[in-house]
């Protein structure tokens, strides 16, 4: 089965070499995009090979983010058609056949899909369900000694005396270093 998978990978890559709709995710996962980009009837098919592929059908995944616009009935219909097609081709490489089967029947399969779909993500629905709660900011817990020190730094009315946060300019400049003559602007 490993040799058959390698042969099919080689064939798929040569067939879909210049096709922008085809994408190989890893050696056992392939995607194909149907329809125009971001159109309501476009969708992404993902085929994942199992260990026993091609002797057993691959996994067919339509639950990608790109397919959020697809109606459930359309997804189920596509899934059913692909599973039926896969059963006919057990024992030989079928990824190309599955991709082409959908190309031929895309109009029929997406007929139930509306032309414009209001995209509502599940996340926004969940967010709307949540109640907004405002948390009161936690008060800083101070010890008696810390409170006393804060009180003593003020004028016992809760106000700081004038200049309590001023910087001693001489000490500040001696720590940072004054302006050197080399860095003085040219006049």
14-36 pLDDT tens trace: 888 888 888 888 888 888 888 87
pLDDT on residue 62? 86
For the four alpha carbons of 110, 113, 115 and 116, in that order, the dihedral sign comes to negative
Mean predicted confidence (pLDDT) in 54-77? 84
pLDDT at residue 104 above 60? yes
**What is the per-residue pLDDT across 124-160, written as a single tens digit (0 to 9) for each?**
556 566 655 566 677 788 899 988 888 787 777 778 7
Average pLDDT across the chain, whole number: 79
Query: Is the separation of the CB atoms in 32 and 45 below 8 Å?
Result: yes
Q: How much is the pTM? A: 0.57
pLDDT at residue 119 above 60? no
Sketch the domain layout of the chain as residue ranges: 2-117
| CATH superfamily placement of domain 2-117 | Ubiquitin Conjugating Enzyme (3.10.110.10)
Helices 72-88 and 95-109 cross at an angle (nearest 10°) of 140
| 29/47 Cα distance (integer angstroms) | 6
């Amino acid at each position: 089965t490993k040799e058959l998978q390698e042969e099919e990978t080689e064939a798929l890559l040569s067939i879909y070499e210049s096709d922008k709709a085809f994408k190989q995710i890893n050696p056992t996962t392939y995607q194909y995009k149907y329809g125009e980009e971001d159109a309501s009837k476009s969708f992404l098919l993902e085929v994942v090979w199992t260990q026993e592929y091609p002797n057993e059908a691959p996994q067919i995944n339509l639950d990608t983010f790109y397919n959020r616009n697809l109606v459930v009935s359309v997804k189920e219909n596509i899934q059913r058609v692909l599973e039926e097609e896969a059963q006919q081709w057990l024992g030989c490489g079928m990824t190309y056949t599955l991709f082409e089967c959908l190309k031929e029947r895309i109009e029929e399969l997406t007929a139930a899909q509306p032309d414009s779909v209001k995209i509502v993500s599940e996340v926004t629905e969940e967010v709307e369900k949540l109640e907004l709660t405002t948390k009161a900011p936690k008060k800083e817990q101070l010890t008696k000694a810390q409170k006393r020190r804060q009180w003593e730094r003020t004028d016992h009315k809760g106000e700081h005396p004038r200049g309590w946060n001023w910087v001693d300019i001489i000490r500040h400049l001696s720590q940072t270093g004054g302006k050197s003559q080399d860095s003085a602007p040219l006049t």
